[in-house]
Amino acid sequence: MPIILASLLFALTYGTTLDFAFASFLYELQGGAWSLQHHWLTEIVLHKYVRDLNQILVVLLFGYWLVRQFYRKDRSQKQRALGGLLLSLILSYIIVAILKRLLPMECPWDLQQFGGNSVFWGLFDSRPASLATNQCFPAGHSSIGFAWVALYYYWRQVQPSRAFQGLLLGLSAGLLLGFVQQLRGAHFISHDIATATICWLVSTFQYLFQSRRFAKTPLDLVDTLPSPVPVLTFTSVESADV
């Protein structure tokens, strides 16, 4: 259902004039210019500082996981869930960064109708080889927030009652950071929808892979019994006389 919803939203924004209509609204709201592109709040605080803060948070979280994994020899469900969260975060950032280089698209501030010098080339258009490769799709900055939708799967394993809160936190952070970049003229709505979809897919597939990998086997069940239970091994030999 989330993928279906995201696909419909992407088709609605990218496939119609909604992307350009909303960008035009923000552009005209700022007096026919991207006045907030270099504003201290949007560029320094909500872009640079938030990006730096997220990097510090991920590094600290990774260090905490390393200590528990190799110093404390922690192999608990919580530790596995934390490892899955870190893997989802890192993969989301990497995949979005790679796609930005493979799918060259213009930002609103690049386009002639928004004060730039370029014409619009769609995602599926054949671009001239001589055309500059702007890296505006999918949205990179909002991935800082959307990647944290992986908290949904983390809490599902650790404290299920908080899973929805984790999902809400990731979506809220992504929407906020995405809107900041739209105010600056850096992205269309569809760019952020694509990023949210990528982050959700990464965290979902990581969770499914981890769940299958650590699924309990019969031997795991023996280890969880309260007292030692002898395990007898039987060898069956088939014979024509039996």
Residue 78 has pLDDT above 70, yes or no: yes
**Average pLDDT taken over every residue of the chain:** 89
Q: pTM for this one?
A: 0.86
| Residue 65: partners with Cβ closer than 8 Å, 6 or more residues away | 79, 82, 83, 86
The answer to the question of residue 126 being in a domain is no
Total domain count, the chain: 1
The answer to the question of residue 229 being in a domain is no
The answer to the question of residue 192 being in a domain is yes
Going by pLDDT thresholds of 50, 70 and 90, the confidence category of residue 40 is very high
The answer to the question of residue 71 being in a domain is yes
Give the domain extent around 112. Answer: 2-119+134-219
The answer to the question of residue 242 being in a domain is no
Name beta bridge partners: 105.
135
What's the pLDDT score for residue 213? 80
The answer to the question of residue 232 being in a domain is no
The answer to the question of residue 238 being in a domain is no
Residue 66 CA to residue 72 CA, distance in Å, equals 9
